[in-house]
Amino acid sequence: MTNDSVAGDPETAAQARDVPASIKHWPQDERPREKLMARGAAALSDAELLALFLGSGLRGKNAIEVSRDLLVRHGGLRGLMSMSCAALMKLPGLGLARATRLAAALELANRHLAAEIQREGALTSPDRVDRYFRARLRDRRAEVFACLFLDTRHRPIAVEELFFGTIDSAEVHPREVVRRCIDHNAAAVIFAHNHPSGDPEPSMADRAITSRLRDALELVGVRVLDHLVVGANRSASFAQRGWL
């Protein structure tokens, strides 16, 4: 085989240099964009979906190979997406623009889940609320205390993250929770917070602050419907345990 024949064939030339062929030289039904259009986004692997965000690879690696490396080294898609923008932008193949796009994609997913709760109307699907808070909080590396505010018919008004803490605690102020309920004219509320350890079992401190919040909110006519403690793979519900 002559040098000219190698140079004229991009895939052969890439192999000769031990460099992966560009995705554009792959069979059409294997390219992520074409595969998505033909079969839907669910047909793509995590690496293929991530590659669509990256758009291009690095020297010696195409976008899918860069994506696979990122996923393997950082605990899969959940591990990668739980990283801060500052941490993401330092990874090979990302940088500021791609890191912010990934963070924006995650927030879009969270807002989509929140919109699904809004479309439910009256809160008749506790499982959907549970899925929403698990998706939003389970991978946070510090404790976050959130509130879902509801009207008199238990229709969602707003979701807010009110308190932020360390890896094992977040200081919750009942006065601030009462104030936000009044601001939203809420008739009921659902609390949720995460345990970065991954174990959703409520602590004695969790039970104590929930009692304080319930007592404080009773004074202004707001009912606490539930408090969800979110772990790595499941959550614990105060309402299901009969603690409210």
Token pair 């909080």 is at which residue? 137
Domain ends where: 47, 72, 107? 107
| pLDDT at residue 231, rounded to an integer | 95
> Does one domain contain both 139 and 99?
no
Question: Which is higher by pLDDT, 126 or 9?
Answer: 126
Q: Are residues 87 and 157 in the same domain?
A: no
Residue type, 109: A
Residue 25 lies in a domain: yes
* CATH number of the domain within which 140 lies: 3.40.140.10
pLDDT-based confidence at residue 19 (cuts at 50, 70, 90) = very low
Q: Decide if 209 is inside a domain.
A: yes
- If asked whether residues 93 and 128 sit together in one domain, one would say no
Q: What pLDDT is attached to residue 112?
A: 79
Q: How far apart are CA 212 and CA 70, in angstroms?
A: 44
CA distance 159 to 22: 44
Q: In what order do the strands lie in the sheet with 223-230?
A: 156-164, 144-150, 188-194, 223-230, 235-237
Query: Is residue 193 classed as helix, strand or coil in its secondary structure?
Result: strand
Examine residue 113 and state whether it is found in any structural domain, yes or no.
Answer: no
Q: Per-residue pLDDT for 95 more than 70?
A: yes
Query: What proportion of the chain, given as a percentage, has pLDDT over 70?
Result: 84
143 and 76, same domain (yes or no):
no
| 59 lies in the same domain as 157 | no
33: in domain: yes
C-alpha distance from residue 240 to each of 25, 93, 139, 227 (Å): 55, 45, 23, 10
Instruction: Single out the residue in 77, 107, 137 at which a domain terminates.
Output: 107
What's the total number of domains in the chain? 2
Let me know whether 95 and 125 are in one domain.
no
3-state secondary structure 36-82: HHHHCHHHCCHHHHHHHHHCCCECCECHHHHHHHHHHHCCHHHHHHC
Q: Specify the pLDDT at position 2.
A: 41
Q: Are residues 98 and 128 in the same domain?
A: no
Q: Is residue 112 part of a domain?
A: no
Indicate if the pLDDT at residue 141 is higher than 70. yes
In a domain, 242, yes or no: no
Residues 127 and 89 in one domain: no
> Based on the domain organization, do 150 and 186 belong to the same domain?
yes
- Domain containing residue 138: 120-237
Residues 95, 124: one domain?
no
Question: What confidence tier does 131 reach under pLDDT thresholds 50, 70, 90?
Answer: confident
Q: pTM of this prediction?
A: 0.65
* Domain-located, residue 188: yes
For 160-207, the pLDDT digits (tens) are: 999 998 877 789 999 999 999 999 999 999 999 999 999 999 999 999
Count of Cβ atoms closer than 10 Å to residue 147 Cβ: 25
